[in-house]
Amino acid sequence: MYNRIKLRVCVCVCVCEASNLCQPSLPSYWPNGNPLRYLPSELLPKTTHTYDTHQKRCSGCKVPVFNRFKLNYISLSKVPDLLSSTMWCGRVALRVALQRIAVVPLNSLSITGGLPGAVQREMSSLPRVYITRQIPPEGLKILSESGQVQFDLWDSDDVPVPRKELLQKVKGVDALVCVLTEKIDAELLDAAGPNLKVLSTMSVGFDHLSLEELKKRGIRVGYTPDVLTDSVAELTVALLLTTSRRLIEATHEAKTGGWGTWRTLWLCGYELANSTVGILGLGRIGVAIAERLKPFKVKKFIYTDVAPRPELASLIDAEYVSMDELASQSDFLTVCCALTPETKDICNKDLFSKMKNTSIFINTSRGGVVDQEDLYEALSSGQIAGAGLDVTVPEPLPTSHPLFTLNNCVILPHIASASYSTRNAMSALAANNLLLGLKGQPMIKELKL
Ligand SMILES: O=CC(=O)O
């Protein structure tokens, strides 16, 4: 039977050092159950290893397998409808046999390569989607099980797809899923061509998208607000406390012998109790941050924005103030606005010079809203007491950057929404936005262009 079937198929397998087959442990990758169960015993792996999603390596033989870890491109739930189960078993077996002889470069696999004509025709009539990143499993599962699309993806989460490859891969696609590292501009949209109708970004921010170009071409855009609000608010509070109570300095001192006797003013910081917290850009995230800070006995919340936002403000009893008042009154100033041409470098010398020298500046929105040279000056001169940044320009911030030399500056690598549940929810929302967009239906979260 196996000789008859000369196919490359799209089953998820990976090979560890000992050439045993590692089975991905995530059930979502096997919507119809792990197809390896169909294998004849002589082809079954001797050892069953699992994919350790945290370590990104085979948990059995400890070999990093993520590069060889391939998702099935075809919906596994759809394939059995198209093929007889015997043939399907044969396909799996053949793929496994090939894998055991030699590691075939997985990117040489084609989506429909080798499938019988009818199946190829059916597959090729499905809208084509390119995904610029190995996004979390929830989203891939939704796309895979929908049976509505065929997709190809940049099979890594560790490095972004190179621009040249991206420009190649988007040619002729009907829809695109991207993350915030991909600049979606005229060049990319031209490379994609007129088939592109839907863009779904797995992010709440959209400063990486050229909205004007997208609008001009009638491309609909989905994004992922709300599902990340809790995670971002939580991280903002953590960063604020880490900065104001000098936790990084403190752990460093404890670890490196700086911890002498108990001292009366050593490592003192600033507390939230009785403080005024200012929010620059009041939206869902600003409200969620304030709700979390309130139990710390904050005295007053103030905010500024392009205009008062009474409905949101009433949720946290926040007072609308001017930018100058925000700067001069805030003990803690947290930036929550989107990066737009209007907000670029809005946190600059002018703002810092009006802040108290006991105040703490926090930014979890986008690095572009801060003039980093001015911030360095304000921190190193003692104009402000400290800063906590989850976002910078560029990202990653080079380790030689002057901000890294300052004890009163805490820098995180853009992790505000980085919880497993939130990243999966973002992935799922991005997938659902895309499918709805392709069907011509309203997306769950769509940008008004
Ligand atoms: O920064 C993260 C996002 O925009 O989702």
For residue 135 the two structure tokens come to 């996004």
For residue 6, how far is its CA from the centre of ligand 1 (angstroms)? 44
Of all residues in the chain, the percent with pLDDT exceeding 90 is: 72
How many angstroms separate the Cα of 381 from the Cα of each of 374, 399, 405? Answer: 10, 21, 13
Q: Whose CA is nearest to atom 3 of ligand 1?
A: 203
Q: Whose CA is nearest to atom 5 of ligand 1?
A: 203
For residue 128, how far is its CA from the centre of ligand 1 (angstroms)? 25
> CA 139 to CA 116: how far, in whole Å?
28
Q: Specify whether the CB–CB gap between 370 and 399 falls below 8 A.
A: no
129 within ligand 1 shell (Cβ under 6 A): no
pLDDT at position 69 over 50: no
Mean pLDDT, the chain, whole residue set: 82
> CA 313 to CA 424: how far, in whole Å?
30
Ligand 1 pocket test: which of 178, 200, 204, 447 has the largest number of ligand atoms within 8 Å of its C-beta?
204
pLDDT digits (tens, 9 = 90+) for 380-427: 999 999 999 999 999 999 999 999 999 999 999 999 999 999 999 999
> Among 27, 146, 7, which residue's Cα sits nearest to residue 89?
7
pLDDT at position 47 over 90: no
pLDDT at 20: 35
pLDDT at 203: 98
For residue 437 the two structure tokens come to 């967009």
204 within ligand 1 shell (Cβ under 6 A): yes
pLDDT at 353: 98
15 within ligand 1 shell (Cβ under 6 A): no
| 89 against 204, higher pLDDT | 204
pLDDT at 80: 41
Catalytic residue positions, numbered:
414
pLDDT at 287: 98
pLDDT at position 41 over 70: no
pLDDT at position 231 over 70: yes
| 18 against 316, higher pLDDT | 316
pLDDT at 56: 55
pLDDT digits (tens, 9 = 90+) for 93-114: 333 323 322 222 233 333 333 3
pLDDT at 124: 73
Strand-pair category, 318-320 with 220-222: unpaired
Cis peptide before 24, with omega less than 30 degrees from 0?
no
What is the 3-class SS of the chain, one letter each residue?
Answer: CCCCCCCCCCCCCEECCCCCEEECCCHHHCCCCCHHHHCCHHHCCCCCEEEECCCCEECCCCCECHHHCCCCCCCCCCHHHHCCHHHHHHHHHHHHHHHHHCCCCHHHCCCCCCCCHHHHHHHHCCCEEEECCCCCHHHHHHHHHHCCCEEEECCCCCCCCCHHHHHHHCCCCCEEEECCCCCECHHHHHHHCCCCCEEEECCCCCCCECHHHHHHCCCEEECCCCCCHHHHHHHHHHHHHHHHCCHHHHHHHHHCCCCCCCCCCCCCCCCCCCCEEEEECCCHHHHHHHHHHHHHCCCEEEEECCCCCHHHHHHHCEEECCHHHHHHHCCEEEECCCCCCCCCCCECHHHHHHCCCCCEEEECCCHHHECHHHHHHHHHCCCCCEEEECCCCCCCCCCCCHHHHCCCEEECCCCCCCCHHHHHHHHHHHHHHHHHHHCCCCCCCECCC
For residue 180, how far is its CA from the centre of ligand 1 (angstroms)? 7
Question: For the whole model, what pTM was predicted?
Answer: 0.76
Amino acid at 216: K
For residue 110, how far is its CA from the centre of ligand 1 (angstroms)? 32
User: 224 CB contacts (<8 Å, ≥6 apart)?
Assistant: 201, 202, 203, 204, 425, 426, 429, 430, 433, 445
pLDDT digits (tens, 9 = 90+) for 71-84: 333 333 433 433 33
N- to C-terminal Cα separation, the chain: 55
For residue 186, how far is its CA from the centre of ligand 1 (angstroms)? 22
pLDDT digits (tens, 9 = 90+) for 176-217: 999 999 999 999 999 999 999 999 999 999 999 999 999 999
17 pLDDT tier (thresholds 50, 70, 90):
very low
359 within ligand 1 shell (Cβ under 6 A): no
pLDDT at position 311 over 90: yes
Over residues 229-240, mean pLDDT: 98
Which of 75-84, 427-436, 437-446 is least confident? 75-84
Q: Whose CA is nearest to atom 2 of ligand 1?
A: 203
pLDDT digits (tens, 9 = 90+) for 280-297: 999 999 999 999 999 999
Of all residues in the chain, the percent with pLDDT exceeding 70 is: 73
179 within ligand 1 shell (Cβ under 6 A): no
For residue 290, how far is its CA from the centre of ligand 1 (angstroms)? 19
391 within ligand 1 shell (Cβ under 6 A): no
For the CA of 224, the closest atom of ligand 1 is 5
> CA 296 to CA 350: how far, in whole Å?
30
pLDDT at position 49 over 60: no
pLDDT at 330: 99
417 within ligand 1 shell (Cβ under 6 A): yes
pLDDT at 97: 29
272 within ligand 1 shell (Cβ under 6 A): no
22-27 contacts, C-beta under 8 A, 24 or more apart: 22/49, 22/50, 22/51, 22/58, 22/60, 22/61, 22/65, 23/48, 23/49, 23/50, 23/51, 24/50, 24/51, 24/69, 25/50, 25/51, 25/52, 25/53, 25/59, 26/51, 26/53, 26/137
pLDDT at 53: 59
Per the listing, tokens 């071409």 go with: 217
pLDDT at 116: 46
For the CA of 391, the closest atom of ligand 1 is 1
408 within ligand 1 shell (Cβ under 6 A): no
Q: Whose CA is nearest to atom 4 of ligand 1?
A: 205
pLDDT digits (tens, 9 = 90+) for 130-165: 999 999 999 999 999 999 999 999 989 999 999 999
For residue 48 the two structure tokens come to 């069953």
Amino acid at 23: Q
For the CA of 365, the closest atom of ligand 1 is 1
pLDDT at position 45 over 80: no
| 325 against 95, higher pLDDT | 325
For residue 204, how far is its CA from the centre of ligand 1 (angstroms)? 5
pLDDT at 55: 61
| 46 against 20, higher pLDDT | 46
pLDDT at 217: 98
pLDDT at 238: 98
235 within ligand 1 shell (Cβ under 6 A): no
